[in-house]
Amino acid sequence: MAGEITRVGVVGLGTMGAGIAQVCAQAGFETVGVEVTDELGAKARERVGYYLGRSVEKERMTGEERDAALARLATTTSRADLAGCDLVIEAIVEDLGAKRELVAELDGILAPDAIVATNTSALSVTEIARASARAERVVGMHFFNPAPVLPLVEVVRTELAAEEPYERAYGFAAALGKEPVRCSDTPGFIVNRILIPLLNDCVRVLDEAGVSPEDLDKAMRFGAGWPIGPCALVDLIGVEIHVHASEALHAALGEPRMAPPERLVRMQAEGKLGRKTGEGFFTYES
Ligand SMILES: NC(=O)c1ccc[n+]([C@@H]2O[C@H](COP(=O)([O-])OP(=O)(O)OC[C@H]3O[C@@H](n4cnc5c(N)ncnc54)[C@H](O)[C@@H]3O)[C@@H](O)[C@H]2O)c1
């Protein structure tokens, strides 16, 4: 019987990885974060420190708890430092070749009973798993952005996965204080399979029906009970991320609704990516 998860690795400390590493360290796990340069590792650690500091200001945690969480997070540029991790979550670039190369290398670093999880949004977890000689120990753990805030984790089971590592990954997500759900390795998993075509429908209605983004958002908030309007949501996700996810889902399943609406493709070309550029459907103060 494999042991408990105590030490966790996170590879890639960008938007998602830094947030995931924060969640792991906050939940009490010794966490090793791997980046490509020391500068990027230090930047990620700073970001985690900043967000934990905000939680202290909002009295969601004490200064001691923040210091203890930060002390549990180490960063490195050497994958060899992942030796001794019971679970490694990869959150590197969304590139099949890069992820397969990483997963194959981890075979030689991790103990035989360690688990490898990929945070991929749109790639096949099965294709990533096949790069490992221990494909039965590779799962998907799909966190949502921002990882410290959004509770959902889709725990993705491939046909190659064994019961024990899959259930341990599921239990680990719950131990993080998250709300895990079980799903299979199908395009878009659960949320993106539904949300991407739905948001695309919303954007198409703007031009088809001559509705303003303000009124569309108002309609869905006050008529359908959405907590945030669809245009504001696309701005939050990032127009380029949504376009990329739409293209991937469309390539996989072929429904016309899944293809990115022309309006979003145009916004991407104009650099109107949403909150991160200060302008998308709406404008934002930096
Ligand atoms: N951004 C989102 O909303 C979101 C949501 C869920 C899942 N995802 C998935 O999470 C993954 C990461 O996305 P992101 O938005 O955080 O990207 P990002 O570009 O912000 O971060 C990727 C990080 O990985 C690092 N990196 C790249 N190659 C590496 C390697 N070989 N070893 C170590 N570090 C490496 C980069 O330096 C960068 O800091 C992708 O698979 C993406 O599909 C993204």
Distance 273 CA to ligand 1 centre (A): 18
On whether residue 149 sits in a domain, the answer given is: yes
Are 160 and 80 members of one domain?
Answer: yes
Are 75 and 13 members of one domain?
Answer: yes
pTM listed for this prediction: 0.95
Are 115 and 163 members of one domain?
Answer: yes
Backbone angles phi, psi at 278, to 5 degrees: 85, -10
Catalytic residues: 121, 142, 154, 192
Q: Which CATH number does the domain housing residue 59 bear?
A: 3.40.50.720
Q: Structural domain of residue 242, as residue ranges?
A: 192-276
On whether residue 56 sits in a domain, the answer given is: yes
Are 153 and 233 members of one domain?
Answer: no
Question: Considering the chain, what is the average pLDDT of its residues?
Answer: 97
Are 32 and 126 members of one domain?
Answer: yes
- Residue 3: the pLDDT is 63
The per-residue pLDDT for range 75-98, each reduced to its tens digit, is 999 999 999 999 999 999 999 999
List residues bridging with 141 in a β-sheet.
155
The per-residue pLDDT for range 170-229, each reduced to its tens digit, is 999 999 999 999 999 999 999 999 999 999 999 999 999 999 999 999 999 999 999 999
Are 35 and 17 members of one domain?
Answer: yes
Are 20 and 135 members of one domain?
Answer: yes
- Pocket test of ligand 1: the residue of 90, 120, 121, 191 to mutate, having most ligand atoms within 8 Å of its CB, is 121
Which residues 6+ apart lie within 8 Å of 74 measured at CB? Answer: 31, 32, 33, 81
Distance 44 CA to ligand 1 centre (A): 12
Are 231 and 175 members of one domain?
Answer: no
Instruction: Name the closest-CA residue to atom 38, ligand 1.
Output: 14
Q: Which residues line ligand 1 (CB under 6 A)?
A: 11-17, 34-36, 40, 91-94, 98, 102, 119-121, 143, 145, 241
- Residue 286: the pLDDT is 75
Are 239 and 202 members of one domain?
Answer: yes
On whether residue 281 sits in a domain, the answer given is: no
- Pocket test of ligand 1: the residue of 35, 93, 100 to mutate, having most ligand atoms within 8 Å of its CB, is 93
Tell me which of 184, 203, 219 is where a domain ends. 184
On whether residue 119 sits in a domain, the answer given is: yes
Distance 215 CA to ligand 1 centre (A): 34
pLDDT higher than 50, residue 1: no
Tell me which of 138, 161, 184 is where a domain ends. 184
Quote the Cα angle for 249-242-87, to 5°: 75
Instruction: Name the closest-CA residue to atom 15, ligand 1.
Output: 15
Are 21 and 162 members of one domain?
Answer: yes
Split into its structural domains, the chain has a count of 2
Tell me which of 162, 184, 206 is where a domain ends. 184
On whether residue 113 sits in a domain, the answer given is: yes
Are 167 and 217 members of one domain?
Answer: no
Are 51 and 71 members of one domain?
Answer: yes
